[in-house]
């Protein structure tokens, strides 16, 4: 369920960034597109991730998905930097 909340949060952030479009122009589209692409990637990989977790729970051996967590950290930092640049530069 946490990935569902992350997906929803990314769509909300993308929508909020699109509201900046009249004020900052095309600079708002890059972070919004990044959030949309990340939400789509989460949606497309969610079934595999849940299958792995349910198999791990059944076998009583679940390993953390470190790559997914690090990828989300990089995404959040990139969106924050792009948002700040869109406000300050333009």
End-to-end CA distance of the chain: 37
Is the model's pLDDT at 1 over the cut of 70? no
Per-residue model confidence as pLDDT tens digits over 19-66 = 888 887 788 888 889 889 999 988 888 888 777 777 777 777 877 778
DSSP 90: -
pTM for this entry:
0.72
Residue 45 to residues 20, 30, 41, 42, 49, Cα–Cα distance (Å): 29, 22, 6, 5, 6
What CA–CA distance (Å, rounded) separates 35 from 44?
A: 14
User: What pLDDT score was predicted for residue 17?
Assistant: 85
Domain that holds residue 82: 2-89
- What is the DSSP secondary-structure string of 44-79? HHHHHHHHHHHHHHHTT-----HHHHHHHHHHHHHH
Per-residue model confidence as pLDDT tens digits over 34-46 = 889 999 988 888 8
Supply 84's token pair. Answer: 């700040």
Q: How many structural domains does the chain have?
A: 1
User: What pLDDT score was predicted for residue 74?
Assistant: 92
């Amino acid at each position: 369920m946490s990935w569902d909340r992350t997906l929803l949060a990314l769509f909300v952030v993308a929508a909020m960034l699109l509201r900046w479009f009249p004020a900052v122009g095309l600079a708002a589209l890059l972070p919004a597109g990044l959030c949309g692409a990340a939400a789509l990637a989460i949606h497309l990989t969610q079934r595999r991730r849940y299958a792995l977790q349910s198999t791990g729970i059944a076998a009583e051996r679940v390993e953390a998905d470190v790559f997914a967590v690090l990828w989300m950290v990089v995404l959040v930092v990139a969106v924050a930097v792009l948002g700040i640049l869109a406000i300050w530069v333009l």
